[in-house]
A = this chain, B = another copy of it.
Amino acid sequence: MENCTLLLLKPRERIIGTARDLFRKHGIRGIGVDAIAEAAGTNKMTLYRHFGSKDELVAECLRDVAREVEEMWAEVETAHPGDTLAQLRAWLRCAAEYKTQDDCRGCDMANAAVELTETDHPARQVIEDFKRKQRDRIVRLAREGGIDDAELLADTVFLLLEGARVSRQSVGAEGPAAHFMTSAEAVIASFLLKSRGRVTVAKRKTKAPASVR
């Protein structure tokens, strides 16, 4: 966040915006509340008054990410009214590129899940709810778009997207993540072909046909 923008915000919003930036840059465990409060132009007492603890601040930052992603979905629906597969493709493109222009830090939700090893951390429920909601939405879009095995398609593109966002952090944007949309398009196309009865690719929970094994 730039300082000129920061000054226009209330302390609570300033702290969330600053914390999100710093968590992303240094990792959640790589930055303390003192540094966050100072960078947000406030103090630790104000931070604790608003959030109670660093853990709750982390959870609130992730709720803020979830709100942004909801806005992204709304934009995608507006851009492609009635065409659910176009919405799905547009969303995959947005999600793969979201916040990756400036760094190679991938998905804030998945990164938090990696960093926060405590099973009772308040952020874990936020992450789980968010990820399930994304997957359920992809299932619905795929189903309405005429994909028979919408659940398997959703799992496949969901894993591809998670993979693309984590892979950037290991080998950079020029690695396998560079071909994420080509991979996703090929997967969607093969599921569509299968649904239209033109070809049998593989059935769920059964082995692939002997000819292709």
| Partner-B contacts on A (CB < 8 A) | 25-27, 29-30, 85, 105-106, 109-111, 113-117, 127-128, 131-132, 135, 151-152, 154-156, 158-164, 166-167, 169-172, 175-180, 182-183, 185-193, 198-199, 201-202, 204-205, 207-209, 212-213
Contacts and interface: CB of A to CB of B under 8 A. Distances in A.
Contacts of A186: 152, 156, 190-191, 201-202, 208
A159 to B, nearest CB: 3
A176 B159 contact: yes
Contact of A152 (B117, B131, B183): B183
27 contacts: A26-B117, A105-B117, A109-B170, A110-B169, A111-B114, A114-B114, A151-B179, A152-B186, A155-B182, A155-B183, A158-B176, A159-B177, A159-B180, A160-B160, A160-B163, A162-B163, A162-B176, A163-B166, A182-B204, A185-B207, A186-B202, A188-B208, A189-B212, A190-B201, A190-B202, A192-B212, A199-B199
Given A135-B176, A171-B128, A199 B198 contact: yes
Given A29-B29, A155-B179, A159-B164, A131 B170 contact: yes
B117 A115 contact: no
Contacts of A183: 152, 155-156, 159
A89 to B, nearest CB: 8
Contacts of A151: 179
Lowest 3 A-B CB distances belong to which pairs? A159-B163, A163-B163, A162-B163
A193 B212 contact: yes
Counting chain B CB atoms within 10 Å of each CB, the highest count among A105, A110, A154 belongs to A110
B176 A202 contact: no
A187 B187 contact: yes
